[in-house]
């Protein structure tokens, strides 16, 4: 009995549960896709049946309620499963938003497929079908936007803490922060916590009040700077102050020297400061855009939807209800567009600061 109890405890140890969340997320994703796809197909099929036989429309509308539950459950499972499995993957957020909008705008493209089931009709089966698709689309869009916001927050927090991944840096990755230095925001190299005290006291860049990334030489990459600090060789105060004591490496090109800076832990800290400055500015920019141009953007969205509806009318030679009419829809889609634009701005800032090292 004791051995069995020990075996059971071993089977349910934390290590044995390591794959369980991934397995649950995988089943949630695949199950959600299956449920959602089958319910969309079923709703479209029933709409076609209701449009072709008005006598069955009321019964179809009743049966549609069951599939509407699947259209609500499916997006929730897809969003949660994909978020767990593919978090921080570039395509995950974008694909969720695209699929959500495809369902959300079903009244825009579905009339091209079901020419006898237009959104503006008195047929209860057809109306219930469009309503069910709209509900599923709204749920999916809501979760997709929530994932987008979560992705933005995660990316920003990680970049603010770590900046460039340590594995991509070459100089100073094993250096600990100095306790005697405050991390001065947008400060010079010797005002950052990775500047070592014993080097700083003899560093000509420090005494000249300059920065290593401007001079293209520093204590993490240039042997002459370290040697001077280690040997304690005296240098005239005048040479220290006017910068002539700063060693120059003529064996490397300026491009090669900049590459050294880009791979330095001190310069990475400097880039993190740039990122911390750029992110609030980007948030303020988009906040101002929304406040100043909210009505204009809402009008543009409404005009775009109206134009698209007219185009569908021309193709289907029918009367298709304008999608997205109403202040709530316009504001919702405007916020969604701004959030997507902000998300890609975040990625652009990351690329500029941590990849291009601007």
Token duo for residue 97: 């938003």
Cα distances from 256 to residues 104, 214, 221, 248, in angstroms, run 52, 14, 11, 13
Q: Are residues 192 and 281 in the same domain?
A: no
Over residues 221-233, the pLDDT tens digits come to 888 888 877 777 7
Please state the rounded mean pLDDT for residues 128-134.
84
Q: Is 141 part of any domain?
A: yes
| Nearest residue to 351 via CA among 95, 80, 164, 85 | 164
Over residues 198-225, the pLDDT tens digits come to 888 888 888 888 999 999 998 898 888 8
Q: Is 271 part of any domain?
A: no
| Final residue in a domain of this structure, among 236, 263, 290 | 263
Q: Which range among 4-13, 130-139, 250-259 shows the weakest confidence by mean pLDDT? A: 4-13
Helix (H, G, I), strand (E, B) or coil at 171: strand
Q: Are residues 130 and 210 in the same domain?
A: no
CA dihedral 86, 88, 94, 95 (to 10 degrees): -10
Predicted pLDDT at 327: 62
Q: Are residues 77 and 186 in the same domain?
A: no
Q: Please tell me which residue, 49 or 115, carries the higher pLDDT value.
A: 49
- Bridge partners for 171 per DSSP: 264
DSSP code at position 192? S
The answer to whether the CB of 336 falls within 8 A of the CB of 322 is: no
Q: Please tell me which residue, 93 or 282, carries the higher pLDDT value.
A: 282
Q: Are residues 125 and 253 in the same domain?
A: no
Predicted pLDDT at 322: 43
Q: Are residues 104 and 36 in the same domain?
A: yes
pLDDT over 90 at 1, yes or no: no
Q: Are residues 50 and 178 in the same domain?
A: no
DSSP code at position 243? T
Mean pLDDT across the chain, nearest whole number?
80
Q: Is 82 part of any domain?
A: yes
- Percent of the chain scored above 70 by pLDDT? 83
Q: Please tell me which residue, 327 or 177, carries the higher pLDDT value.
A: 177
Token duo for residue 358: 């601007």
Q: Are residues 22 and 143 in the same domain?
A: yes
- Segments forming the whole domain that contains residue 202: 174-263
Q: Would you say how long the chain is, in residues? A: 358
In total, how many domains does the chain have? 2
Helix (H, G, I), strand (E, B) or coil at 354: helix
Predicted pLDDT at 179: 72
| Final residue in a domain of this structure, among 263, 285, 308 | 263
Q: Are residues 255 and 305 in the same domain?
A: no
| Final residue in a domain of this structure, among 230, 263, 296 | 263
Place of tokens 């689309």: 137
Q: Are residues 305 and 158 in the same domain?
A: yes
Q: Are residues 217 and 159 in the same domain?
A: no
Q: Are residues 159 and 179 in the same domain?
A: no
b or e along 235-269 (b: 16 or more beta carbons within 10 Å of the residue's beta carbon)?
eeeeebeeeebbeeeeebeeeebebbbbbbbbbbb
Q: Is 269 part of any domain?
A: no
Q: Calculate ∠ Cα 168-171-172, nearest 5°.
A: 110
Q: Is 184 part of any domain?
A: yes
Q: Are residues 142 and 94 in the same domain?
A: yes
Q: Is 32 part of any domain?
A: yes
pTM exceeds 0.85 for this model: no
Q: Is 285 part of any domain?
A: yes
Q: Is 339 part of any domain?
A: yes
The answer to whether the CB of 257 falls within 8 A of the CB of 216 is: yes
């Amino acid at each position: 009995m004791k051995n069995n109890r020990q075996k059971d405890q071993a089977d349910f140890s934390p290590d044995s549960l390591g794959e369980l969340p991934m397995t649950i997320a995988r089943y949630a994703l695949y199950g959600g896709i299956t449920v959602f796809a089958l319910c969309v197909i079923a709703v479209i099929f029933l709409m076609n049946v209701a449009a072709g036989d008005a006598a069955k429309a009321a019964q179809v509308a009743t049966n549609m309620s069951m599939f509407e539950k699947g259209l609500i459950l499916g997006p929730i499972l897809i969003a949660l499963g994909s978020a767990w499995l593919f978090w921080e993957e570039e395509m995950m957020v974008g694909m969720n938003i695209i699929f959500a909008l495809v369902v959300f705008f079903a009244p825009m493209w579905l009339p091209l497929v079901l020419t006898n089931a237009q959104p503006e009709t008195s047929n209860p089966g057809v109306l219930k079908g469009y309503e069910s698709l709209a509900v599923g689309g709204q749920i999916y869009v809501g979760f997709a936007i929530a994932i987008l916001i979560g992705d933005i927050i995660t990316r920003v927090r990680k970049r603010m803490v770590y900046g460039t991944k340590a594995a991509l840096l070459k100089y100073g990755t094993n250096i600990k922060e100095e306790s005697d230095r405050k991390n001065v925001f947008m400060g010079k190299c010797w005002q950052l916590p990775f500047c070592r005290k014993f080097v700083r006291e003899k560093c000509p860049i420090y005494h000249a009040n300059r920065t290593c990334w401007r001079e293209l030489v520093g204590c993490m990459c240039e042997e002459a700077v370290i040697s001077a600090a280690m040997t304690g060789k005296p240098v005239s105060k005048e040479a220290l102050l006017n910068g002539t004591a700063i060693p120059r490496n003529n064996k490397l090109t300026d491009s090669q020297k900049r590459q050294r800076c880009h791979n330095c832990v001190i310069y990475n800290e400097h880039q993190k400061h740039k990122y911390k400055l750029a992110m609030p500015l980007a948030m303020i920019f988009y906040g101002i855009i929304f406040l100043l141009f909210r009505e204009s953007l809402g009008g543009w969205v409404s005009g775009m939807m109206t134009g698209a509806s007219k185009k569908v009318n021309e193709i289907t030679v029918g009367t298709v209800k304008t999608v997205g009419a109403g202040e709530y829809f316009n504001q919702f889609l405007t916020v969604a567009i701004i959030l997507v634009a902000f998300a890609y701005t975040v990625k652009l800032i990351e690329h500029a600061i941590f990849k291009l090292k601007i």
